[in-house]
Amino acid sequence: MYGGGYIQDDDIKQPSNGQEDPRLLAEFEARINAGEKIEPDDWMPAEYRKQLIRMIEQHAHSEIIGALPEGTWITRAPGFKRKMALMAKVQDEIGHAQLLYSAAETLGKPREEMINDLLSGKSKYSNVFNYPTPTWADSCIITWLIDAAAIVNQVINSKGSYGPYCRALERICYEESFHLKLGHDCIVELATGTPAQRKLVQAALERWWKPIIHFFGPPDKTSVHSEKLMRWKVKMASNDDMRNQYLSTYVPKIKELGLVIPDPDLKKDEATGSWTYSDPDWDEFFRVINGDGPCNEERLAVRKWAEDNGKWVRNALQKASDKYVVPLA
Ligand code: FAQ
């Protein structure tokens, strides 16, 4: 674990009477309504800061843990080109985590504490990365359909109110667009390949469909944070709206490849644009995000291993920086 001595996000100062200064709050909300960006040194309600830290930190952890299920396929990807491309893709995801941790740090929570909270299980990360990738096709499904889901979420929220997060999301989306193309290319190759390849990719889609539906979060009626986050333009669309947008774009593309989505009840109401689908077992979703998914233990164990075995590098860097710091006169 990292050392620290910094504030915990629980310690973010709340106004003593639980109420923000009404004048400051009104000015803040007026700026948001006018489409202005909020920057780190601007006044912001404690709850806005706390929610942003929670969400950005969770997003950063998802990128780091998200590198693991595909990462295990780098050495086994079919052929040199696929290996090279996957290695670059996985590296990008780690870079996204760095951008996001930096954005969260602007709100006052140091990276060390965020990593500690990931390792202790206090902070969440995306449900999808707690599922295994038993075949190459599973890795390709992540590269196509999970990256696609991330892009839907990120493009929408990049128009939000907090400057550092929005700028990080814009940059991330450029890179994710390449991932999407890579993933699509890998899936097309399998879906138009031999019967064995088609079978492999169909089986992977069946394993991933439910986690993909879960990805956008619980239905709006049970979402805890959406209302506040949408009022403050941190989230620019509700969970169901993002899920609908994703389904409208990607269901036709999946079907175009002759793949069968494992939900006979999936259909779109053309008048409203909303999709209906079979009950995706939200109990499973909550179990997985609270630590009891098929791979939660394994994912955190890998991170802990990396943490322990990278300690000497952090120590060396720390010592070097101590050595070369020129004291200010
Ligand atoms: N997984 O009240 P809501 C990626 C939790 S990046 C885990 O609706 P909210 C790149 C939620 O935290 C993927 N937990 O929550 C990549 C809350 O629990 P809490 C990550 C989830 O925040 C691709 C509770 O449920 N993207 O994939 C999930 O308003 C390929 C109640 O939910 C982001 O993090 C979930 N799916 O809306 C990398 C984007 N959904 O904290 C490698 C930023 C909900 O009260 C390979 N985040 N929960 O204990 C967001 O946009 C939002 O946080 C939502 C959830 C939309 C995910």
Distance (angstroms) between ligand 1 centre and the Cα of 273 equals: 23
Nearest CA to ligand 1 atom 34: 59
Domain-embedded: residue 111:
yes
Could you give the CA distance from residue 112 to residue 129 in angstroms, rounded to a whole number? 22
Which pair of structure tokens corresponds to residue 188? 């097309």
pLDDT of residue 324: 63
Q: 9 lies in a domain?
A: no
Tell me the CA distances in angstroms from 38 to 42, 108, 161, 264, 291, one per residue in order: 6, 15, 6, 45, 34
Give the other-Cβ count within 10 Å of 118's Cβ: 24
Pick the residue whose CA is nearest to atom 46 on ligand 1: 66
Q: Report the domain count for the chain.
A: 1
Cα of 22 vs centre of ligand 1, distance in Å, is: 30
pLDDT tens sequence across 9-32: 455 656 666 799 999 999 999 999
Residue 273 within a domain: yes
pLDDT at 93 over 80: yes
For 102-111, what is each residue's pLDDT tens digit? 999 999 999 9
Q: Say what the pTM is.
A: 0.93
Give the model's pLDDT for residue 7.
43
Is residue 290 in a domain? yes
CB 259 within 8 A of CB 191: yes
In a domain, residue 232? The reply is: yes
Query: What band does 42 get if pLDDT is binned at 50, 70 and 90?
Result: very high
pLDDT score recorded for residue 8: 47
| 185-222 pLDDT, tens digit each | 999 999 999 999 999 999 999 999 999 999 999 999 99
- The binding-site residues of ligand 1, defined as CB within 6 angstroms of any ligand atom, are 54-55, 58-59, 62-63, 66, 93, 124, 126-127, 142, 146-147, 150, 153, 157, 214-218, 223-226, 229, 235, 239, 289
pLDDT tens for each residue of 298-322? 999 999 999 999 999 988 888 776 7
Own/partner pairs, 21-26, CB within 8 angstroms, 24+ separation: none
Quick check: is 11 in a domain?
Answer: no
Residues 6+ apart with CB under 8 A from 248: 268, 273, 275
Contact 136, 73 (CB under 8 A): yes
Q: Identify the domain containing residue 49 by its residue range.
A: 45-302
Would you say residue 327 lies in a domain? Answer: no
- Give the Å distance between the CA of 195 and the centre of ligand 1: 36
Q: Decide if 104 contacts 56 (C-beta within 8 A).
A: yes
Counting from 1 in the atom list of ligand 1, the atom nearest the Cα of 216 is: 56
Q: What is the DSSP string of 79-124?
A: SHHHHHHHHHHHHHHHHHHHHHHHHHHTTT--HHHHHHHHHTT-S-
5 in any annotated domain: no
